């Protein structure tokens, strides 16, 4: 029980830190004075996803921010919130965060490592015995092609578990956008 409280406090701390980061980015953009050296190296981006089908809905919001240490190395954090539902079958809520390291071998080629920790809460309409709530870790190694603001490529989850992952496959294409 003590571990659950620690995890809840950690989630709250990450959420507050990220909200503070986003708030400061917004203030820095509105400021008329020169931004501090730190904020001039922060870039932000993220992802939005929507999926619809026959009685199916999926929505994702995943903001992220990175700090560009130099032209080759960046480190960042991200949040992930996803809701899925299949009418009369199930619904799931996925909440979590990630840390990412980006390394530009040359300006156009980027390799990455990303650790993601997600809390998955699944509720089945007709079979509550199958309801589940668990933590799922993922460790992605990837490579992409693009420019400073946009990269596209492929990543692989080295911890992939086909029975627990929210992803259909260990290999996933990606598009990263940071401004």
**Is there a domain that residue 15 lies in?**
no
In a domain, 8, yes or no: no
Q: Is 20 contained in some domain?
A: no
Residue 75 covered by a domain = yes
**Domain total of the chain:** 1
Burial class (CB in 10 A: 0-12, 13-18, 19+), 31: exposed
Q: Is residue 24 part of a domain?
A: no
pLDDT band at 8 (very low <50, low <70, confident <90, very high): low
> Average pLDDT of 130-152?
94
Question: Hey, which bits of the chain come out as E strands?
Answer: 42-53, 56-68, 73-86, 90-106, 109-124, 132-146, 150-157, 171-177
Domain span at 53 = 42-177
The confidence score (pLDDT) of residue 36 equals 79
**Residue 11: predicted pLDDT:** 54
For residue 151, name the pLDDT band (cuts at 50, 70, 90): very high
pLDDT score, position 121: 96
Q: Which residues pair with 123 in a beta bridge?
A: 91
Residue 173 forms part of a structural domain: yes
The CATH number covering residue 114 comes to 2.40.160
Q: For the chain, what percent of residues have pLDDT higher than 70?
A: 80
Residue 153 counted as domain residue: yes
pLDDT given at position 35: 63
Q: Determine, yes or no, domain membership for 147.
A: yes
């Amino acid at each position: 029980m003590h571990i659950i409280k620690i995890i809840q406090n950690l989630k709250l701390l990450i959420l507050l830190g990220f909200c503070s980061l986003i708030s400061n980015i917004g203030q820095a953009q509105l400021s008329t004075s020169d931004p501090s050296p730190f904020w001039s190296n922060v870039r932000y981006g993220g992802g939005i996803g929507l999926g619809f089908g026959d009685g199916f809905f999926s929505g994702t919001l995943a903001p992220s921010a990175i700090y560009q240490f130099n032209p080759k190395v960046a480190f960042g954090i991200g949040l992930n919130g996803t809701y899925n539902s299949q009418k009369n079958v199930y619904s799931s809520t996925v909440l979590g965060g990630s840390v990412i390291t980006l390394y530009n071998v040359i300006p156009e080629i980027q390799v990455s490592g990303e650790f993601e920790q997600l809390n998955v809460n699944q509720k089945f309409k007709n079979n509550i015995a199958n309801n589940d709530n668990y933590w799922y870790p993922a460790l992605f190694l990837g490579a992409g092609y693009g420019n400073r603001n946009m990269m596209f490529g492929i990543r692989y989850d080295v911890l992939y578990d086909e029975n627990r992952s929210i992803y259909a496959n260990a290999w996933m294409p990606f598009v990263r956008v940071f401004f």
